[in-house]
Structure 1
Amino acid sequence: MLKRLMLPVLLVLLTGCSSAISEYKLGSDYMLRQASIVPQMDALHASQLIPSTVTEVAWDDNYILAKQQLADENSANPDASLNKAKREQYWIIDIRHDKRYGPYNEKQFEEQKKEFNITEALQLQSISTYTKS
């Protein structure tokens, strides 16, 4: 009986440990968690969620920028890699006004950054920079 319970308990513990490693705080109100950007107060800011798979992120006191890679609808398709650029989306979260903008393509994203006067110093970086253990 004890042996049967040990496996599920062990799996829960290992799963819990892996999720703790892949979290990173983005400012005071958001977290990068499991390749998603989530508000720390989920119920109040649920519309600000950027679902997985976030591949790149940048932030300052005013904005969070994110690049999202959409899942390929047919990963067995050899031509799927040809459409990869079309499967990327960009997002901007205005932290001060609690608003999410996007999804954008790369050109729209760059235009919106200019409109919001987001400095060139705020550059997207791979999430692996922040989630390495």
Structure 2
Amino acid sequence: MRQRKLTYLLAIFLCSCNEDPGINLGNNYKLAYSAQEGDPIIVTDKGIRGDAPTQIIGGKVLNFAFDSTFIVVVQKDRDSIMPRYSNLSQADQAFFQSPLKQYWIIDKRAKLFFDTKTKKYSNVYGPYDKKEYEQMRTELSVPLTLDLGVKD
């Protein structure tokens, strides 16, 4: 009887550890961790078809800010750095030393859908360099209170 209880408790524990709850960013968005690299990424809770979570912004999220309307993100994209190196340790070192940053804005007011022609999500703006990001922030009226704390 005692062993049955222990087995049952162990099964509950293992099942509950399976899913990373991440940080809730509102409107079904969250900051989670990539299963491949362990980097922070932005995903949806339910995916576009209502099934598994959908990765919206990958790479490595360096910082983010959000309110009820917007999510702003600064990240490094592994894909823009890694292909240049055949040695994984050299690629990792180059990635962490790289000053390259990309900026994103997610407008949570708009419905999320993937456009197969443009290969982009309807309400996700980016990747941008710092200047393009600042222009789009103004265009979308992103509040100044959403500060990424990044100084270039």
Q: Which runs of 5+ in 1 are unaligned?
A: 1-8, 127-133
* TM-score normalised by structure 2 residue count: 0.60
Structure 1 position 48, deviation (Å): 7.0
**What is aligned with 1:84?**
98
| Greater Cα radius of gyration, structure 1 or 2 | 2
* TM-score normalised by structure 1 residue count: 0.67
Where does 1:17-96 land on structure 2 (aligned, <5 Å)? 19-20=20-21, 23-34=22-33, 35-44=40-49, 49-71=56-78, 72-73=81-82, 74=85, 76=90, 80=94, 84-86=98-100, 88-96=101-109
Aligned residue pairs total: 115
Structure 1 position 33, deviation (Å): 0.3
Structure number having the greater helix percentage: 1
**What is aligned with 2:36?**
none
Question: Would you identify which runs of 4 or more consecutive aligned residues in structure 1 move more than 6 Å?
Answer: 45-48
- Residues 45 and 54 in structure 2, CA contact (< 8 A), matched pair in contact too: no
Q: Indicate how the Cα distance of structure 1 residues 121 and 68 shifts in structure 2: closer, same or farther if over 3 A, else same.
A: same
**What is aligned with 1:131?**
none
In the alignment, the residues of structure 2 paired with residue 89 and residue 47 of structure 1 have an alpha-carbon distance, to the nearest angstrom, of 20
Q: Aligned-pair RMSD on alpha carbons?
A: 3.5
Deviations 1:87-113 (A, max 9, x none): x21111110013111111111001100
Q: Which runs of 5+ in 2 are unaligned?
A: 1-9, 34-39, 112-122
Aligned-partner residue type, residue 62 of structure 1: T
- Residues 41 and 61 in structure 2, CA contact (< 8 A), matched pair in contact too: yes
- Residues 70 and 89 in structure 1, CA contact (< 8 A), matched pair in contact too: yes
In the alignment, the residues of structure 2 paired with residue 84 and residue 44 of structure 1 have an alpha-carbon distance, to the nearest angstrom, of 36
